[in-house]
Structure 1
Amino acid sequence: MKSAVETLNPTRVRLTVEVPFEELKDSLDAAYKKINQQVTVKGFRKGKIPARVIDQRFGRGAVLEEAVNDALPKFYTEAVNEGELNVLGQPEVDITELKDGELLAFTAEVDIRPEIEIPDYSGIEVEVDPVEVSDEDVDKAVEELRERFASTAPVERPAEDGDVLTLDLEAKVDGEVLEDGLASDVSYTIGSGELLDGIDEAVKGLEAGGEATFTSELKGGSAAGKEAEITVKVSKVAKRELPELDDDFAQLASEFDTLEEVRADSRKRLENMKQYDQATQAQERVLDALLELAEVPIPEKLLEDEVNTRKHNLEHHQLGQMGLDLAKYLEIQGKTAEEFDAETREQAIKGIKTQFILDELVNKEKLNVDQEELTEHLMRRAASSGMSPDQFAQAVVEGGQVPMLVGEVARGKALAVVVEAVTVKDTNGEVVDLSDEEDEAAEATETTEAAAEQAEGDAAAEAKADSDK
């Protein structure tokens, strides 16, 4: 077999391959055997039809077509290996010559991973938020803990802001009660912003047994988007009661004996969170700076596939599970289809660039992933997916996704190498030492691509929440 490589552009090549006909012998034998099992010829037992009879009855062309289809993947792979190419996706194959008994010739155009020169990144300097926890931050954290231990007590008075009401709801459109327009014993906190626009004004001032009617646009259900007449009846008014902020509360709500210990623990937790956020922020900004420095050609077919995959995942997985379609999502987000397409393309380009350059760093730095690192990464991914580690591991193995996880860990380590080499300062001008958070930083950001997908999921979740109001 002879093969030659022609570079069409930095991300695409054309292979020209010539195969002597004798190298098709195994595939021709397999073709005759396969056809033998599929057809019957009077006078011959199944599977025992001579080759000359198959040629006469069904045509030599059918045999050649079957043999070539069988042989092409092997010859293509040999040509790729001979050319030492790092191919991406499936090739576009064109058979240019097929002479029975003499020669098979074909071309194959395919995208390849571009050669990337890692720029000198030692001069990169980025700015991040400082790790500062104020007394107000601690007060807020303690108050949130206090809110979780709030109780309710029925009251006989008109409903006020912050009260918890038990409601019965009825929705009518054009005077008809909707099939899904009835709800009983719904718990609602006045001022929470949940349920329906206008409900707070309707229920404030009502006592148990009181009733009110108002109009509101339905955000979900069978009549989503339509104006409905809503009748709300209050069956119970309850006042939220917060526990006193004292040592008794500390013992109720935590493992600590005093309120001061609770406050100290809250401060430490907030500091740890801000350090983690700072490390993640540093990674993201260093990566952005690295991508600005590097020249990374993008294969058009790969980009097209990535854009389509992102759209499909958003529409059919994230939005589909939430009962939203793309049009409703864009309406809630206040985006046009053109803006959405442009953003998706931009995210896809950044994701591909990130993967290419970090993979090149992995090779350059000769970074390896050990079993412990892979297991820790798998545990984190399982937690974020809502699956148990065993379930997630089984899904990964069955889906052949182990190399993908290994790649994510390796790219995280590559980015950590860059972060360690650059200068990171906070907005106060202080140099930030991220050495203690290096492992956390590697865990925090798998790739910008994954972060973008998470952002899409968060936006979808927000859109769902808005649609349910």
Structure 2
Amino acid sequence: MPTTVEQLSPTRVKLTTTVTPEQLKPSITHAYEHIAADVTIPGFRKGKVPPAIIDTRVGKGAVLEHAINDSLDGAYREAVTETKLRPLGRPEADIVTVPDVNTFEGDLVVTFEVDVRPQITVPNYDKLAVTVESSAVTDADVEAELDRLRSRFGTLITVDRPAKSGDFVQIDLEAKIGDEVVDSAENISYELGSGDLLDGLDDALDSLTAGEATTFKSNLLGGDHEGEEAEISVKVNSVKERELPEADDDFAQISSEYDTIAELREGLKSEAAKSKTFAQGNEARNKLVELLLEQAEIPVPEAVIEDEVHRHLEAENRLEDDEHRAEVKEASEKALRTQILFDEIAESEKVTVSQNELTSYLVQASAQYGMDPNEFIKILADNGQIPQMVGEVARSKAISIVLGKAVVTDEDGNAVDLGEFAAVQNDDDDSDIILQAEPQSDEEAAESAGEAIAEANKPAKKAKKSTKKADADAEAEGDAE
């Protein structure tokens, strides 16, 4: 199927492809079968109407039109495969010439315009230098960790005073748009200052005492009126503060595997150090990505960005919010530029993704959505999204490669070793590789999905959990209620 490529812009091409009569023949046969099963003609059972009768009663024009429509998807996929393009958006098809309607002889010539991944020059990322915050753990860091642990074991005490940040309040809420009550709830437990409910709620509650009420305006976050501004009435039923246990040896034994508060502080110091090291890795990664994006010229197709912005705003019911539109557009452009950049790096570094790596990524992703891994992977497979997930893993590994080559120092001038954070796990078993700088076919994607589902179905090893920690979780959960 010969195909020519015309570069319309750095991010858009026109493919002109020719389908010969021989290549169109299966679609002609399918068209007759489909029409035969769909039409009712006296004297013939459905599905048994001969082509000659269809030609007479329905017309060869309808048969040809059906065959052309049936062949467009395959012609497009074959053209993309032949030209090794990387489509980013939906194609627009235009039929240039069609076969003879009476004989079905002659070529079908079709053009497809589609947005594609542009050709870019990747900046040199060998020994890129970035500076990150120090990982030194201070006494204040340890005390902050200790306070967080104590808060999990705290008890809520009702107080007779105005509410302040950190208090837990029992509140009634009512939302009105005009004169209509669109939502309401009673006796909600809310931590003042958490920002977990509605914009403006923290400011409205600050300094209110039990029995007092006020109103404020906010955009609703769910329901039929999601995104719309409403007048919110809030009434405080009670104010409670969290009373923390004493930081002593008894607390250390109740809350951890340690016997003394001194040992617990040392343990928390070690945990804080690990957390800061991980934070350094995240900071270095983000700064390296920003640095490369600044140095690289990466055009992005406007239509693809607009589609993503519209989808996002439609989901939030905020299509008329111009300020938010600008924010979403900027974020979408950056995300696509980042994807293009690290796709290119992944290919140049010949990054591979193993079945184990894909499965691990999918299982972790399913946990983030609170879904069963089998169900999550099946949904992705049914929607043809497994290749996208493979791409995500490959890009993550490409970022790790860049991190491994970077020169990272902290703000005190000390060298930072990100070896563990940036470790790239390559599987030595080539039979387990499912991607190597090339996109998957539909068949390969389906096979990968099946293997991932089978892997997710294997019995998982149960993680051991400290009885004390389990008790603490249950106690904290009871306090929240």
Fold conserved between structures, TM > 0.5:
yes
CA gap 1:213/1:344 in 2 versus in 1, 3 angstroms: closer
Shift of 1:213: 4.5
Residue in structure 1 matched with residue 133 of structure 2 by the alignment: 129
Q: 1:70-219 alignment to 2 at 5 Å?
A: 70-100=70-100, 101-151=105-155, 159=161, 183=186, 201-203=207-209, 212-217=211-216
| Contact 1:2/1:17 (8 A) holds in 2 | yes
- Bigger fraction of residues in helix: 1
Matched, 1:372 2:356: yes
| Contact 1:160/1:190 (8 A) holds in 2 | no
Counterpart secondary structure, 1:430: coil
Q: Which consecutive residues of structure 1, in runs of 5 or more, have no partner in the other structure?
A: 204-210, 316-324, 328-335, 443-469
Which of 327, 343, 346 is 2:330 aligned to? 346
CA gap 1:226/1:132 in 2 versus in 1, 3 angstroms: same
How far apart, in 1, do the equivalents of 2:296 and 2:163 lie? 55
1:234-273 C-alpha deviation (Å, 9 max, x unpaired): 6xx8775433222112112211100001111111111111
Residue in structure 1 matched with residue 387 of structure 2 by the alignment: 403
Counterpart secondary structure, 2:89: strand
Residue in structure 2 matched with residue 415 of structure 1 by the alignment: 399
Q: CA RMSD in A?
A: 3.8
Shift of 1:286: 0.4
CA gap 1:300/1:190 in 2 versus in 1, 3 angstroms: closer
| Contact 1:279/1:441 (8 A) holds in 2 | no
Structure 2 length normalisation: TM-score?
A: 0.73
Identity across aligned pairs (percent)? 39
Counterpart residue identity of residue 250, structure 1: A
Residue in structure 2 matched with residue 356 of structure 1 by the alignment: 340
Counterpart secondary structure, 1:226: strand
1:354-396 C-alpha deviation (Å, 9 max, x unpaired): 1112111111111112233233323332332223444434444
CA gap 1:337/1:213 in 2 versus in 1, 3 angstroms: closer
CA gap 1:292/1:225 in 2 versus in 1, 3 angstroms: same
Shift of 1:342: 1.8
Q: Which consecutive residues of structure 2, in runs of 5 or more, have no partner in the other structure?
A: 427-481
Residue in structure 2 matched with residue 65 of structure 1 by the alignment: 65
How far apart, in 2, do the equivalents of 1:227 and 1:77 lie? 53
CA gap 1:154/1:385 in 2 versus in 1, 3 angstroms: closer
How far apart, in 2, do the equivalents of 1:224 and 1:365 lie? 50
Shift of 1:196: 7.0
Residue in structure 2 matched with residue 467 of structure 1 by the alignment: none
CA gap 1:105/1:344 in 2 versus in 1, 3 angstroms: same
Q: 1:211-360 alignment to 2 at 5 Å?
A: 212-217=211-216, 225-226=230-231, 230=235, 241-313=243-315, 315=316, 326=318, 337-360=321-344
How far apart, in 2, do the equivalents of 1:82 and 1:227 lie? 59
1:258-314 C-alpha deviation (Å, 9 max, x unpaired): 00011111111111111111101100110111112222221233222232333345x
How far apart, in 1, do the equivalents of 2:88 and 2:170 lie? 58
CA gap 1:213/1:273 in 2 versus in 1, 3 angstroms: closer
Counterpart secondary structure, 2:359: helix
How far apart, in 1, do the equivalents of 2:353 and 2:272 lie? 31
Counterpart residue identity of residue 215, structure 2: S
Shift of 1:428: 1.6
How far apart, in 2, do the equivalents of 1:190 and 1:47 lie? 68
How far apart, in 1, do the equivalents of 2:113 and 2:304 lie? 13
Shift of 1:212: 4.7
Counterpart secondary structure, 2:274: helix
How far apart, in 2, do the equivalents of 1:390 and 1:263 lie? 41
Counterpart residue identity of residue 6, structure 1: E
Counterpart secondary structure, 1:109: strand
CA gap 1:126/1:181 in 2 versus in 1, 3 angstroms: closer
How far apart, in 2, do the equivalents of 1:24 and 1:300 lie? 34
How far apart, in 2, do the equivalents of 1:170 and 1:44 lie? 67
CA gap 1:244/1:103 in 2 versus in 1, 3 angstroms: closer
How far apart, in 2, do the equivalents of 1:115 and 1:52 lie? 51
How far apart, in 2, do the equivalents of 1:116 and 1:124 lie? 19
| Contact 1:198/1:214 (8 A) holds in 2 | no
1:73-110 C-alpha deviation (Å, 9 max, x unpaired): 33333333333333333321111222413332222222
How far apart, in 1, do the equivalents of 2:106 and 2:183 lie? 73
Matched, 1:384 2:388: no
Shift of 1:433: 1.6
How far apart, in 1, do the equivalents of 2:41 and 2:191 lie? 81
1:312-352 C-alpha deviation (Å, 9 max, x unpaired): 45x1xxxxxxxxx549xxxxxxxx93332222111111111
How far apart, in 2, do the equivalents of 1:310 and 1:191 lie? 28
Matched, 1:13 2:13: yes
| Contact 2:193/2:202 (8 A) holds in 1 | no
| Contact 1:161/1:191 (8 A) holds in 2 | no
Matched, 1:426 2:410: yes
Counterpart residue identity of residue 103, structure 1: D
| Contact 2:99/2:107 (8 A) holds in 1 | yes
Counterpart secondary structure, 1:108: strand
CA gap 1:145/1:106 in 2 versus in 1, 3 angstroms: closer
| Contact 1:373/1:409 (8 A) holds in 2 | yes
Counterpart residue identity of residue 346, structure 1: E
Shift of 1:198: 6.0
How far apart, in 1, do the equivalents of 2:402 and 2:202 lie? 49
